[in-house]
């Protein structure tokens, strides 16, 4: 029966990692709702155009799932973006925009989805970044948002358990645009290659599935080992 099929909401699922997550979950038999502030062709799921940093839009999005799908079993908070600017040039508006999409949206979505996720004994996965742990220059708003998202993950795991498990995936370098990658780009990763959106999608699929039932409040790095590599200048 259609109503028995699990339902997943993937934010930022029109492109990149979110699209791969949506495609993987759809292939695994989930009904998928993709929320994105941009439209896109051939989205692997029901596309809802919504800005997930907007409280009212998140309310409409989750209410729409209650009406259309009738249940919610997994929430994947993937929407995110980066502004690279020297801090002296970064406006408060830009700071708030990055925090709004990358961090506040997960609060808004978890709050709105709790009443459907608890009876479903569902799962939340947040997509943070290895930049929650390490930085390049001029990435303050992004790093802060991802560090906050990682901490929000364990806070939610404690508050929403035991019914809802909440985990975080922190990707490293994932090639979402099919860039021309050099041999040294791959070689600098202990795993021998740059990451693919499907690498992240496979981890998310496990985290929202039944085989990760003893895992909550955790962070998983999908970075080809880059954050474990010690570097000294030659
Ligand atoms: N690609 C990487 O190397 C990498 C590494 C670490 C973390 N991440 C994280 O993974 C996630 C996905 O990254 P990506 O590389 O696939 O990005 P992307 O830019 O290719 O796709 C992001 C999608 O999110 C949507 N989006 C952005 N803000 C939104 C909002 N407020 N409301 C609704 N939709 C919104 C965009 O329209 C887009 O479709 C992000 O959270 C990003 O920070 C990516």
CATH code of the domain covering residue 137: 3.40.50.720
Average pLDDT over the chain reads: 98
When pLDDT is cut at 50, 70 and 90, the band that residue 49 belongs to is: very high
| Residue 126, domain member (yes or no) | yes
Does residue 97 fall inside a structural domain?
yes
Is residue 201 within 8 Å of 220, Cβ to Cβ? Answer: no
CA-derived radius of gyration, the chain: 17
**Residue 233 Cα to ligand 1 middle (Å):** 32
Residue 21 located in a structural domain: yes
pLDDT of residue 100: 99
Q: What is the pLDDT of residues 58-81, one digit of tens each?
A: 999 999 999 999 999 999 999 999
Residue 233 within a domain: no
Q: By alpha-carbon position, which residue is closest to atom 30 of ligand 1?
A: 51
| Total structural domains within the chain | 1
Does the pLDDT at position 109 exceed 90? yes
Q: Please give, one letter per residue, the 3-state secondary structure of 164-231.
A: CEEEEEEECCECCCCCCCCHHHHHCCCCCCCECHHHHHHHHHHHCCHHHCCCCCCEEEECCCHHHCCC
pTM, to two decimals? 0.98
234 occurs within a structural domain: no
Examine residue 161 and state whether it is found in any structural domain, yes or no.
yes
- The model's pLDDT over 80-92, given as tens digits with 9 standing for 90+, comes to 999 999 999 999 9
Residue given tokens 């941009």 in the structure block: 38
How far does Cα 126 stand from its chain's mean position? 4
Using an 8 Å Cβ cutoff, are 16 and 197 in contact?
Answer: yes
Instruction: For residue 16, give both structure tokens.
Output: 């990149």
Q: What is the pLDDT of residue 2?
A: 85
Residue 12 is predicted with a pLDDT of: 98
Assess whether the C-beta atom of 18 lies below 6 angstroms from ligand 1.
yes
Ligand 1 contacts CB of residue 15 (under 6 A): yes
Domain presence at residue 9: yes
Q: What is the mean pLDDT of residues 93-121?
A: 99
pLDDT tens digits, residue range 146-201? 999 999 999 999 999 999 999 999 999 999 999 999 999 999 999 999 999 999 99
Q: In this structure, is residue 156 part of a structural domain?
A: yes
Is the pLDDT assigned to residue 1 strictly greater than 90? no
How far is the centre of ligand 1, averaged over its atoms, from the C-alpha of 212 (Å)? Answer: 25
Q: Provide the domain limits for residue 57.
A: 2-228
Q: 1 C-alpha vs ligand 1 centroid, how far in Å?
A: 33
pLDDT tier at 218 (50, 70, 90 boundaries)?
Answer: very high
Give the atom of ligand 1 at the shortest distance from the alpha carbon of 14.
Answer: 39
pLDDT at 3: 85
pLDDT band at 234 (very low <50, low <70, confident <90, very high): confident
């Amino acid at each position: 029966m259609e109503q028995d099929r699990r339902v997943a909401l993937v934010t930022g699922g029109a492109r990149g990692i979110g699209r791969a997550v949506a495609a993987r979950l759809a292939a695994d038999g989930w009904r998928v709702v993709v929320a994105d502030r941009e439209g896109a062709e051939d989205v692997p799921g029901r596309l809802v155009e919504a800005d997930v940093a907007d409280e009212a839009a998140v309310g409409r999005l989750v209410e729409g799932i209650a009406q259309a799908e009738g249940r919610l079993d997994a929430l994947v908070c993937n929407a995110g973006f980066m502004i690279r600017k020297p801090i002296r040039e970064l406006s408060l508006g830009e700071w708030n925009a990055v925090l709004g999409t990358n961090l506040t949206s997960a609060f808004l979505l978890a709050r709105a989805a709790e009443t459907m996720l608890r009876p479903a004994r569902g799962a939340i996965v947040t997509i943070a970044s290895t930049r929650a742990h390490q930085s390049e220059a001029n990435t303050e708003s992004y790093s802060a948002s991802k560090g906050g998202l990682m901490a929000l993950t364990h806070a939610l795991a404690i508050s929403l358990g035991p019914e809802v498990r909440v985990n975080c995936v922190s990707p490293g370098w994932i090639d979402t645009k099919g860039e021309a990658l050099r041999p040294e780009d791959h070689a600098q990763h202990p795993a021998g290659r740059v990451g693919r959106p499907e690498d992240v999608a496979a981890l998310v699929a496990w985290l929202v599935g039944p085989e990760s039932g003893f895992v909550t409040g955790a962070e998983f790095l999908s970075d080809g080992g880059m954050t474990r590599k010690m570097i000294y200048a030659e």
